[in-house]
Amino acid sequence: MSLEGWALGISVLALFVAITKDFILPFMFKPKILLEGIDDEECIENAVEMGGTKSRWVRLRLINERGFFSRTAKGCYIKVLRIKDDKGNKIVPFESLPLPWVSYDNFSGGRYDLGVGEYHMIDLVHEYDNQRILRLKIPMPIELRKQENVKLKPGIYHIEVAVYGDNFNSKKGNFKVKLTKNFGELNFAK
């Protein structure tokens, strides 16, 4: 076999390896992301804040499902895309920012890896016993944080979120939460 034949063979082999490594394997072996919000003891949690104020948290469960072709989800983060009231009115002003992961420092920009078969809780909304407004744990304009605000008063809210990451396609989810006039009843609406 001539030198040109060997060079051609090695080039074709290198091209095959590169295509397999960069395109075929990542397509086959990618995270299987699931986002759920259900009324269970992990997604709905009562707590006591510093100073003794009672609070109730509604959380999402971000899961990287176990599977033969699954792999670690890299650089995951979740953003709230929009909030609407039960009549379909968009809540404004509203800035789309990443949601905090429960029990993490959240100073790294909210981007974390999620191993195969691992799940983690994400803070979605919460309430305090002395205030009847829906709260998000992201910076919100002062107009949405005021007690007299009528935009986030007791009612049903539709919250659209999306999960992003470095090695999987984004995934959207829609969740309904219900804030009542009584503390301790904040939960996912049916």
* Geometric angle at alpha carbon 99, from 96 and 104, rounded to 5°: 155
Is residue 20 one of the residues assigned to a domain?
A: no
At 11 the three-state DSSP class reads: helix
**pLDDT for 8-26, tens place per residue?**
888 888 887 777 666 666 6
Q: How many domains does the chain have?
A: 1
Which pLDDT does position 30 carry in this prediction? 85
Tell whether 147 is covered by a domain. yes
* 78 domain residue, yes or no: yes
Would you say residue 138 lies in a domain?
yes
Q: State yes or no: pLDDT of 43 exceeds 70.
A: yes
Is the distance from CB of 78 to CB of 161 less than 8 angstroms? yes
**Does 132 have pLDDT greater than 70?**
yes
Q: Tell me, yes or no, whether 2 lies in a domain.
A: no
Phi-psi bin for 145: left (phi > 0), alpha (psi -120 to 50), beta? alpha
The answer, yes or no, to whether residue 147 has pLDDT greater than 50, is: no
**Which residues fall within 8 angstroms of residue 82, CB to CB, at 6 or more apart?**
90, 91, 94, 96, 159, 160
Average pLDDT, the chain: 84
Question: Contact at 8 Å (CB) between 126 and 186?
Answer: yes
CB 58 within 8 A of CB 187: yes
Euclidean distance between CA atoms 58 and 40, whole angstroms:
10
Matching residue, tokens 């104020």: 53
pLDDT of residue 105: 60
Distances (CA, A) of 140 to 119, 135, 172: 27, 9, 22
Q: Can you give the CATH number for the domain in which 81 is found?
A: 2.60.40.10
Note down the domain range covering 98.
Answer: 31-188
Length of the chain: 190
Rounded-to-10 torsion of CA 134, 139, 144, 146: 90
What is the rounded CA–CA span in Å between residue 55 and residue 31? 34
